[in-house]
Chains A and B, each alone.
Chain A
Amino acid sequence: MPAYLLFFAIIFASLFHAKQARAYPEFIGYKYSSCMTCHYNGQGNGPLTDYGRGVWAAEIAGRLGSGKKSAEEISEGSGFLWGVPMPWWLRPGIKARNLAMQTNPPAKETRTVLMQLDTSVAIHFDEDQKYIFVASYGYAPVPQKIKNDPKAEKPKEWISREHYFRWQTSENLWLYFGMTDKVYGIRIVDHTAFSRLKTGIAQNDQTHGVIAQYIQPTWEFTLHGFGGNMFQETDLRQKGVSFLYDYEIREAWRVGLTGLASSNTYKKNTRYGLTNRYGFGEGSALLYDLGLIEDVLKGQKPKKGYYFYSEAMQKLVRGYHLFFTGQAWKADMSTSDGVDTVSTGVGLLMFPMHRFEFRFEVVNSNTIGTSSVVTRDTWQALAQIHLSL
């Protein structure tokens, strides 16, 4: 067995000791096990609830500019217009993320990408928030590989990221109708991670469908039936079903089982995996996501691959975190000449104050195969700023 697989085997093994979370699933390190606690979407991602805004401001972000304000005062100023009260039924939001990156630094060229510029609104139809409508509309950059190709058909740059109606039918059951991210695996922030990119749940892979999320204190089960993205051509829409079962072994330690099966006219996708989120100490976490991918292109032999994502995050001081990532992916395990892509990274996740996130990461990627040819590894330096109202 190659050493790097043993390397990942150790990481994977440690998940059974460790503690785990989505969106910022790392926040299970702060004992936030369920995404529903902070997000309108119970699978994470998208607009934050009032509670989520309060948690970010009063507990996770640093106190830069807060003076001697108490946690309650900081939390009260975490709304869209800071401390100015909004009507109970309206919760607007704006988010922007900009990325600067260099390949094999120091390089002459620095590429910048406006990754996200979204405006969102949550409308509460009742004060108990049993009936809520949530929508996000935003900018989606055209992928670099087709941006400069005059012949390529370019997708729209302004799209609806999500729009859904959420209905809490009982104390434990939530139903979502509309366009959302697919329910699958750990919903981490990095949409280029193999666990998101290679499974088809990246930043622009939303779908229309119905979600049922059943939450108990120690477990959650979410089922998603979807009919594809209605903004796409009919033959491209991936229709299918996915699920995620999350079980809390003990406080701040959740393991999960996840699966997805979908198809369109040209391609059939099947994915299944194991997830683990483990929080320990105060603000530290270990995440793992391991799964198998089967892609069947019409008229072709199925390709069976795997993906693996791991992350160790450690709080240094309030608002500042150090993290390490380890990932691997192989498109087809049935051929002897295939290569494994292995990526390792180290970075800083910083929230110096509420509404601001800075992320700096260095990523080292290797392709490892049975051949003696060694492709030179690549390094990437990534700096990201995230502003949120």
Chain B
Amino acid sequence: MVKIFSAILIFSLALSSSAFAQKKSAKKKARPAPRATQTKTQTAVPAPVPAPETPAPIQTSAPEEAQSETAAPAPTRARKAISSFSQFGMNFSFWQETIGAKKGSAETDIRALFQGVNFRYAYNSAMSGRWRNPYFMDLGFGFVKGKGTAATIQDELKSQPWTNFSLTPALIYRTTEVSDFGFGLPLAYRMIQWKLNEASGLEMDKKSSLSAGISMIHINRFTNSAFLTLALAHQINWNATVWSLGLDFKF
């Protein structure tokens, strides 16, 4: 466990140094602070609240500034148009699924846990306004494990390798300057290379399978070119809900 925490720490520090450098350079470009920022910074050590009940927060800390901004609405900022781009990334995923097992005349369902890594390429086609239409292509590798619980089939499945390819057309909306939200329709083809003890007589289902589903995608953009992508997909044919989290880079 100590190794795991050390790995986390090293990974974090490596990423933080590059992110910090990027943010520092971005800061030099110095855009004016938003109204809320200017107001709230002053409340880091909050001023005592004056006697009248429930004063407006903006009045408490910066009355003049707030009043002037209330009177004259800020000019609309020109929104940067989204252009088409490609991205590459890696994500980790896990899910549970039920797989049929057969041994002679006995049959059962084995609950299996899938864990793996996916490498992703996506082309993001720009649409109007804040919308874009990405096509995600994922190539994944991982392992599955499980154990039969029926009296006749109690075989253990350890580190059984799987390979997956999926294509996901999606529709994504840029909710803020640094975040996106959208939906996708993942279509996945998967192969499990069952490595079974022949003497056991066990036969496993889903050596190869195809599944279609629907996914929800949430993106946090750390910089203009690095994103944290979180996706939750329900694969209808596998009857499985797949959680995945990864880092993507625009190029």
Residue numbers of A with Cβ under 8 A of B are 1-18, 30-34, 36-37, 49-51, 53-55, 57-59, 70-72, 75-79, 85-86, 88, 91, 127-130, 171-172, 215-218, 248, 250-251, 280-284, 286, 290, 306, 312, 314-316, 322, 324, 326, 333, 344, 346, 364, 366, 368, 371-377
Q: Which of A16, A57, A217, A290 contacts B19 (CB 8 A)?
A: A16
The 8 Å CB contact of B57, one of A75, A88, A312, is A75
Alpha-carbon distance A76/B57, docked complex (angstroms): 10
Q: B53 near A: Cβ within 8 Å?
A: yes
User: Closest residue to A346 on the B side, CB-wise?
Assistant: B232
Q: Please indicate the chain B residues that have their CB under 8 angstroms from the CB of A375 in the complex.
A: 111
Residues of B within 8 A of A71 (CB): 56, 58, 70
Looking at B76-84, B164-172, B215-223, the stretch in contact with chain A turns out to be B215-223
**Which residues from chain A contact B48 at a C-beta distance below 8 Å?**
127-130
Q: Are B53 and A10 in contact (CB under 8 A)?
A: no
Residues A13 and B15 in contact in the complex (CB < 8 Å), given A3-B117, A281-B179, A284-B179:
yes
Known A32-B43, A281-B178; 6 more pairs at CB < 8 Å = A3-B92, A7-B93, A218-B44, A322-B218, A374-B147, A377-B96
Q: Which residue of A lies closest to B114 (CB)?
A: A3
Known contacts A3-B115, A7-B94, A286-B220; A55/B16 CB under 8 A? no
Output the least CB separation between A68 and chain B (Å).
Answer: 14
Instruction: Tell yes or no: B181 within 8 A of A by CB.
Output: yes
Complex Cα gap A5–B3 (Å): 12
A34 contacts across to B, CB distance below 8 A? 43-46
Binary contact readout B43-67 vs A (1 if CB under 8 angstroms, 0 otherwise): 1111011011111111110000000
A-B contact pairs, 9 of them (CB 8 A): A7-B243, A14-B220, A14-B228, A17-B15, A50-B53, A51-B55, A75-B57, A312-B218, A372-B157
The A interface is mostly helix, strand or loop, or mixed, namely mixed
Contacts of B13 in A (CB 8 A): 16
CA distance A15 to B13 in the complex (A): 10
CB-based contact A374/B56 at 8 Å: no
What are the residues of chain A within 8 A of B228 when measuring CB–CB? 10-11, 14, 312
Which of these, B52, B146, B216, contacts A374 with CB under 8 Å?
B146
Q: Is the CB of B59 within 8 A of A37?
A: no
Q: Which residue of B lies closest to A85 (CB)?
A: B53
Q: Taking the complex as formed, is B239 at the interface, i.e. its CB lies under 8 A from any CB of chain A?
A: no
Does B12 contact A217, Cβ atoms closer than 8 Å? no
Known: A16-B15, A215-B44. A280 touches B55 (CB 8 A): no
Closest chain-A Cβ to B31's Cβ sits at a distance in Å of: 13
Min Cβ gap B134→A in Å is 18
Partner of B59, one of A3, A72, A282, A284: A72
Interface residues of B in 1-56 (CB under 8 A from A): 1, 4-5, 7-8, 11-13, 15-16, 19-20, 23, 34, 36-37, 40-41, 43-46, 48-49, 51-56
Which residues from chain B contact A290 at a C-beta distance below 8 Å?
Answer: 8
How far apart are B162's CB and chain A's nearest CB, in angstroms?
12
Complex-state Cα separation, A186 to B22, whole angstroms: 27
Contacts of A280 in B (CB 8 A): 176, 178-179, 220
**Is B245 in contact with chain A by the CB < 8 A criterion?**
yes
Inter-chain contacts of B51 with A (CB < 8 A): 88, 127
Task: Select which of B34, B52, B54, B175 is within 8 A of A316 by beta carbon.
Answer: B175
Point out the residue from A12, A128, A129, A372 that lies within 8 Å of B158, measured CB to CB: A372
Q: Which residues from A are CB-within-8-Å of B157?
A: 372
Bound complex: CA A79 to CA B51 (Å): 13
- Does B205 lie at the interface of the complex (its beta carbon under 8 Å from any beta carbon of A)? no
B247 within 8 A of A: yes
Task: Please tell me if B246 contacts chain A, counting CB pairs below 8 Å.
Answer: yes
CB-CB under 8 A from B94, the residues of chain A are 3-4, 7, 366
Q: Which of B113, B145, B246 counts the most chain A CB atoms within 10 A?
A: B113
Contact present for A51 and B46 (CB under 8 Å): yes
Query: Are the CB atoms of B45 and A284 closer together than 8 Å?
Result: no
* Contact assessment for A346 and B216 in the assembled complex, using a CB-CB cutoff below 8 Å: yes
A16 to B230, CA, bound (A): 17
Structural contact, B246 and A37, CB atoms closer than 8 A: no
**Binary flags per residue of B210-251, CB closer than 8 Å to A gives 1, else 0:** 000000101010110010101010000000010101110000
Is there contact, CB below 8 Å, between A10 and B41? Answer: no
Closest beta carbon of chain A to B114's beta carbon, Å:
9
Chain B residues, Cβ within 8 Å of A88: 51-53
